[in-house]
Structure 1
Amino acid sequence: MFDMGYSEFKFTWCNNFTSPNSTRARLDRCLASKDWLDRFPRASLVHLSINTSDHLPLFISWGEQTTGHAKQKSRFHFEAGWCLYVSNKEVVRNAWEKIRELDPGMNIFESISNCILELLK
């Protein structure tokens, strides 16, 4: 197993104290096998920023697979963490209302689809 390294922030955890009592460390890592790294040579790990936790979330991007398989359309997965950001609540509210204003009889699936498109922007 190999440590994938990282980009962005150097540390993934802090004790939320101010200097000189501040402690920071890279506690969270991503390990990958040689086979996986060979299949996804452009894979990378990013330490994301978030202000509501003492840990930074990790984001793994694996790029495109090099085995020649056709790329399938990915399913949408709602991330509960999106609810932490007030701006995302407004995005959903506005997207939902936009559909309802255009046609009050619009079905729920089209309203949800519009919310997905807005969240992914």
Structure 2
Amino acid sequence: MEEKLDKVLANPDWCDTFPYAAVTNILTRTSDHSTLYLRVRDGRARPRGPRRRFRFEMAWLYDDGCRRQVEGAWEEGKEGGLLRCLEHCGHKLLRWGGDRYHKFGEQIKNLRREQLLLRGALDSTSLVEFQRIEAELCRLEA
């Protein structure tokens, strides 16, 4: 049995004050409750274009190339001090690993989408497929 108890409540005054607010329901597999994310933006702010932010991927630790990238970047940037080394290392890792491991994020996103479509289905085929997707998600996330 599934029930949707996670909700957001706002009155008209609040909505007028924050017209660009958005709520996202984030599904988690480790709890029967969803996380609610409230984003409040200024409608006048303009995005500065597509820019990928650096985020370290734990999967990189399993690739020997990661260590070579870090050591090379550190050597190249050492004349500029610690902050320069860190910045240079981030740029090199972003270029090296961004495309290489981006596929994991896409696969996870697609599997979560498939799993969401199966929520609430009670037939045995759907349950087996839900469990298969769950196992694949666990494998990819590990």
Band the TM-score falls in, shorter-chain normalisation: 0.3 to 0.5
Structure richer in helix, relative to its length: 2
Name which structure has the greater RCO, CA cutoff 8 Å, separation 6+. Answer: 1
Structure richer in strand, relative to its length: 1
Q: TM-score under structure 2 normalisation?
A: 0.35
Q: TM-score under structure 1 normalisation?
A: 0.40
